[in-house]
Chains A and B, each alone.
Chain A
Amino acid sequence: MRRTFFKSATAAVVAITTLGFGTTVAAQDAAEFYKDNVIKWIVPYDPGGGYDEYSRIIIPYFEKYSGARVDIVNLPGSGGMKGAVEIFNSPADGLTVGIINGSAMVTNQLAEIEGATYKVGDYNYLGRMVADKRVMVASKISGITSFEDLMNNGTTEIVGATGLGGSTYVDAVITGEVLAIDQRVVHGFDRSGDIRTAMLRGDVQTMWGSLGSALSGIEDGDLKIILHGEKVATGMLEGIPSIYDIAMTMDDGEKRVKILESWEALSAVGRPVAAPPGIPEERLAFVREAFAQAMNDPEFVASSLESDRELSFATGEDMSRIAKSATELEPDVTELFVKAIRGEI
């Protein structure tokens, strides 16, 4: 009995001390705060996915520069929304961060999908790890070798897509609308891998996706990139027409380009690392700095380069601007996107 009493007394003392620290902590040096503290890093998908992988490769470097220990928590559900909501609603003490699927979170927010209770523009961003380059690929057996081919062969091509609102779907519908492509979008595939199988079988001729995920199919000779969404082509996209060049040659080119720029703003949100709103400023500044150092660590950059993992770092401040501009589209453009996300086009 006595022992129990002492135990609870000690616990109470510890609790009071900790609480006391809590109030003075804001004044403490942020570096001191993070040193040997534990940061929870939420990954809104299962282990093994791209988001999980990116998190696991950056974390050792983030630990190095922040001095904190970082624990990964996988929280899959609602297409990444569950994790994003969890980050948004977690305590604003700077000890919970996470990687989010920025573009999908923006589209869900715009279309007011049930459960999208976060505000993409209100997160505190540490920075962005990567933004996908979007490409349109055609299967080898479709016989389509270029975008010109696709437009002039006189047949209605079938474009494969995953669920409504998924990026493969939004990309296909928006670009189809802007470029007036003669196409039929078939959605309902479980994952982009299923679309690729359908392309190999000849059920589907083309699809939109990230350059990274198309890479292996291209190297195997099963797929060919026929169009891309970059204004300036670099690397393996050189020599392939850009969607902007095509839009400019059409009537009302500028209007089309405006829609495409909004579309690009969506993909620019990419995969950012986010923290909830309301974090004390000096802590935010500290983790932003630590994240920037981690992303620019020569060893990290070299290892990413070696394993073909694309990186496109944006600072936390830039990321906040990108996120805000992606959610503040012009009304007519917003309407078009919402229609696309809801499958009304």
Chain B
Amino acid sequence: MTIFEGMASGFFQSTSLAVFPYLFAGSIFGLMIGVIPGLSGHFAMAMAVTFLYTMEPAAGIAFILAAHATVAQGGGLTAILFSTPGTGQNAATLLDGPPMRDKGEAGIAVGAAMASCFLGATFGAIVLALLIPVLREVVLFFGPPEVFVLAFLALTFVAVLGKEDMTRSLIAALLGMLLAMVGVDNVTNTFRFTMGSERLADGLQLVPVILGLFAVAEMIDLWVRGGTLAKDVPTALSAKETQKQIFKGIGLAFKNWWLVMRCSAIGTGMGLIPGLGSAPAAFVAYGHAKQSSPDRDTFGKGNVKGVIGPEAANDAVEGGALASTLAFGIPGSSSMAILLSGLFILGLETGPRMLNQNVDIVFVMIFTIIFGNLLGTIIGMFLVNPLSRATSIRASVMVPVLLSVIATGAFAGERAIFDIGIAIVFGILGYAMKVLNYSRAALLIGFVLGFAVEKNLYLALLLDGPLFIMQPIPLGLMTVTIVFLGWNIYTIYRDRKRVIPK
């Protein structure tokens, strides 16, 4: 089967009556999982995979992959409306999404986020399709030295995120890395910072940490402050006004197509690298959007570009993340591991045999990602109106309701009461950080990348010795990192000098 035959067959299969209903069901399922804080794509897949035993291959793939693909969209919706990221990859959306809501532009933010998700996912899927002939070479490009340096490069974006106060951001990022060390070290079997707790031996789970840092902290803030979630909007927007805003938002995403393309490229690229995950991709895209904007002062205060960038990237990741799974049958993330076993259940082979013999299935996946996100965008638009009304409900009603939803989300992942405790502890920490003006995003990115940095540094040192950094690719990337960091430090001092004379 040639690639073009595969493409045609994949297209007709995914739009056929035998498959499309499953795709539709999957995207609604994923959207719902995304809207519920704490339930991630990993969770959606794990639930969906149990349905596969009785399904046909194409229908099964459309179902699980559509469920996975739309999770980020649902998560973006709650991140903007309730300051509660549905999943880790939406954490970056919190930087500009909620401020837009406070300005009464919730509809614009959501419209832009949804459209960017769709565009990003489409971009990622097309890149994956284009890479099929050279997929194996591309994936093998990244070994431990390369991943270590790339993770480090992503960490330096922290400096940009909190440019107003780089010292505080660095403190937060390093604290995040420190928190990533909690648990049994995989290499030496040493118990680190577990304080005798067996629960902590598995390390801190990402979901309760994110829920605590952002959602619980936001609830504490709302409780202390009183009023409604949308700060300066006394009454809910009318349905008509919301609808108008959504279309304006969608228009803005298309208007900023060049930004969408660049951020999607960042997302796809980071998705290709095994083990980095989608949360850092969204933050790096945010950093890039801010860095490259002439109006960077308004970032963090409700700039729509701060929503478009991360939302485009976190859906573009999917295309990249699928690459190593398909090329070798080696999963790059826990979600992909579940997908892989799903494929196994459906009786499909991965690796070169799939690329050669079942290329139509690869295209079913590609079209599922595209159609799934399109459906997610359309369905999401209908969800905005009822959900956005909730943002005008007063705090004394809203806080208990949202807190119980958050607690459920924290519990659901591992079915552990302990994780609710983690969410509360991090909620207090997050609130303190918010009040004291430390970047929570920096802490999160340090936490997420901490694993990747440590593991790959260890492996790189063992495999290539301390001079691994002198290999051409790591050296090149390290130079970029240092130049990037240096440039930022320089501009900070330059700006400071400019400000002082006034």
Interface residues of A (CB under 8 A from B): 46-50, 52-53, 56, 74-78, 82, 113-115, 158, 162-165, 186-191, 193-194, 196-198, 200-201, 203-204, 216-217, 219-222, 307, 342-343
Contact partner, A77, options B352, B414, B455, Cβ 8 Å: B414
The residue among A76, A193, A198, A203 with the most chain B CB atoms within 10 A of its own CB is: A193
Q: A216-B349, A216-B351, A342-B189 are in contact. Are A48 and B201 (CB under 8 A)?
A: no
Residues of the B chain whose Cβ atoms lie less than 8 Å from the Cβ of A114: 191, 198, 201
Interface-central residue, B136, B274, B328, B338, by most chain A CB under 10 Å: B328
Name the residue of chain B whose CB is nearest to the CB of A216: B329
Closest to B339 in A: A48
User: Could you tell me the distance between the alpha carbons of A80 and B412 in the complex, rounded to whole angstroms?
Assistant: 19
Given contacts A76-B414, A197-B274, 16 further A-B pairs with CB under 8 A are A48-B342, A53-B341, A53-B345, A56-B53, A75-B415, A82-B202, A158-B463, A164-B189, A190-B455, A193-B329, A194-B274, A198-B144, A198-B463, A216-B329, A220-B352, A222-B328
Which of A48, A189, A343 has a CB less than 8 Å from the CB of B49? Answer: A48
| CB nearest to B353 among chain A residues | A220
Q: How far is the CB of A191 from chain B (nearest CB, A)?
A: 8
Q: Knowing A201-B143, A219-B353, A220-B352, say if A343 contacts B198 (CB, 8 Å).
A: no
Q: Are A56 and B50 in contact (CB under 8 A)?
A: yes
Residue ranges of B at the interface with A (Cβ–Cβ < 8 Å): 45-47, 49-50, 53, 136, 139-140, 143-144, 184, 186-189, 191, 198, 201-202, 274-275, 324, 328-331, 334, 337-338, 340-342, 344-345, 347, 349-353, 414-415, 455, 458-459, 462-463
Contact B187–A188 (Cβ < 8 Å): yes
CA of A191 to CA of B336, assembled, Å? 13
- In the docked arrangement, what's the CA distance between A49 and B415, Å? 18
**Which residues of the other chain, A, contact B347 by a CB distance below 8 angstroms?**
307
A307 to B184, CA, bound (A): 36
Which residues of A have CB within 8 Å of B202? Answer: 77-78, 82
> Judging by beta carbons under 8 Å apart, are A164 and B187 in contact?
yes
Complex CA distance for A115 and B184, rounded to whole angstroms? 11
B189 touches A343 (CB 8 A): yes
Contact A190-B186, Cβ < 8 Å, known A48-B49, A48-B337, A200-B328: yes
Point out the residues of chain A lying under 8 angstroms from B139, CB to CB. 197
Shortest distance from the beta carbon of B143 to any chain A beta carbon, whole Å: 5
Residues on A with C-beta less than 8 A from B324 are 197
Which of these, B143, B352, B455, B458, contacts A203 with CB under 8 Å? B143
Question: For residue B45, which residues in chain A have a CB less than 8 angstroms away from its CB?
Answer: 48
B46, B186, B345, B351: the one within 8 Å of A46 (CB): B46
Pair A197/B140 contact, Cβ less than 8 Å: yes
A196 touches B328 (CB 8 A): yes
A307 CA / B324 CA spacing, docked (Å): 24
Please list 30 pairs of residues, one from A and one from B, whose beta carbons are closer than 8 Å in the complex, sorted by A's number. A46-B334, A46-B337, A46-B338, A47-B46, A47-B47, A47-B49, A48-B45, A48-B341, A48-B342, A56-B53, A74-B46, A76-B414, A77-B414, A78-B202, A163-B187, A186-B459, A186-B463, A188-B187, A191-B337, A193-B329, A193-B331, A194-B330, A200-B136, A200-B328, A203-B143, A216-B351, A219-B349, A219-B353, A220-B352, A343-B188
**Chain A residues within an 8 Å CB radius of B349:** 216, 219
Q: Which 5 pairs of residues, A with B, have the shortest CB-CB distance?
A: A48-B341, A48-B338, A193-B330, A163-B186, A47-B46
CB contact under 8 A between A49 and B341, given known A113-B189, A194-B330, A196-B330: yes
- Please give, as numbers and ranges, the residues of chain A lying within 8 Å of B458 by CB-CB distance: 188
Report the minimum CB–CB distance from B343 to chain A (whole Å): 10
Shortest distance in angstroms between A61's beta carbon and chain B's nearest beta carbon? 13
Residues of B near A52 (CB, < 8 A) are 341
By a CB distance below 8 angstroms, the chain B residues around A197 are 139-140, 274, 324, 328, 330
Contact between B46 and A163 (Cβ–Cβ < 8 Å)?
Answer: no
A57 to B328, CA, bound (A): 26
